[in-house]
Chains A and B, each alone.
Chain A
Amino acid sequence: EAGVAQSPRYKIIEKRQSVAFWCNPISGHATLYWYQQILGQGPKLLIQFQNNGVVDDSQLPKDRFSAERLKGVDSTLKIQPAKLEDSAVYLCASSLVDYIYYEQYFGPGTRLTVT
């Protein structure tokens, strides 16, 4: 079974520029999550989709961050304009809606550096 795919793996941009990350979840996984992980901290949920609907975006800085999941499969997360404090690893995860385990599977992440 193929895992969660993310690209790019690394990105360096200057502040005030825009950037986009892409995620392709495990086939059949209806739930998709985007997390932000700042160095030395645990992942923090930014947005959660179920199919192509948003379940939770309460911690997404909506003035600069946006995300979409068209057709309920892959997803993009965009930052515009970027700030220095956005430097972090952006992790995508997916899970089945199986009503039993809700086990999350993570991609390798995208490391963003804002200079």
Chain B
Amino acid sequence: KQEVTQIPAALSVPEGENLVLNCSFTDSAIYNLQWFRQDPGKGLTSLLLIQSSQREQTSGRLNASLDKSSGRSTLYIAASQPGDSATYLCAVTQLNTNAGKSTFGDGTTLTVKP
């Protein structure tokens, strides 16, 4: 059974700091890994998707890396801003017949202080 762990559970940083969020998973037979952002009371917004054959993906100030063999992914946020305050979730997808099945971590709640 796939298990996904995110550390730390909460993180508070001053504005402008670079930071790293961690995600680990127990079964390396994944198809892809997705990082999501969730604002309070809202649904999930996809940030980055990394295919199992890829090592990293970048979007603006965000960079996600994947080391499938060790079961780890990191989300790097550069020059953090108060608007980055949210909960960040990672999810690994495995194939279930010809459909993807995702397992989520419990998230890291980020607070960026002005």
Bound Cα distance from A93 to B93, whole angstroms: 14
B42/A103 in contact, CB under 8 A: no
Partner-binding segment picked from B12-20, B43-51, B64-72, B77-85: B43-51
A111 to B43, CA, bound (A): 11
Task: Give min CB distance, A114 to chain B, whole Å.
Answer: 18
A30: shortest Cβ distance to chain B, in Å? 8
Residues of B within 8 A of A101 (CB): 32, 49, 51
Q: Is the CB of B100 within 8 A of A42?
A: no
CB pair A106–B44 under 8 Å, yes or no, is yes
Contact A108 B101 (CB under 8 A): no
SS class of chain B's interface: helix, strand, loop or mixed?
strand
* Chain B residues within an 8 Å CB radius of A107: 43
Q: Give CA–CA (A111, B57) in the complex, Å.
A: 32
- Interface membership of B97, Cβ < 8 A: yes
Please state if B42 and A104 are interface contacts (CB–CB under 8 Å). no
B34 within 8 A of A: yes
User: In chain B, residues 1-54, which have Cβ atoms closer than 8 Å to a Cβ of chain A?
Assistant: 4, 31-32, 34, 36, 41-46, 49, 51
Q: Which residues of A contact B (CB under 8 A)?
A: 4, 31, 33, 35, 40-45, 48, 50, 55-56, 91, 93, 95, 97, 99-109, 111
Point out residues on B near A: beta carbons under 8 Å.
4, 31-32, 34, 36, 41-46, 49, 51, 89, 91, 93, 95-107
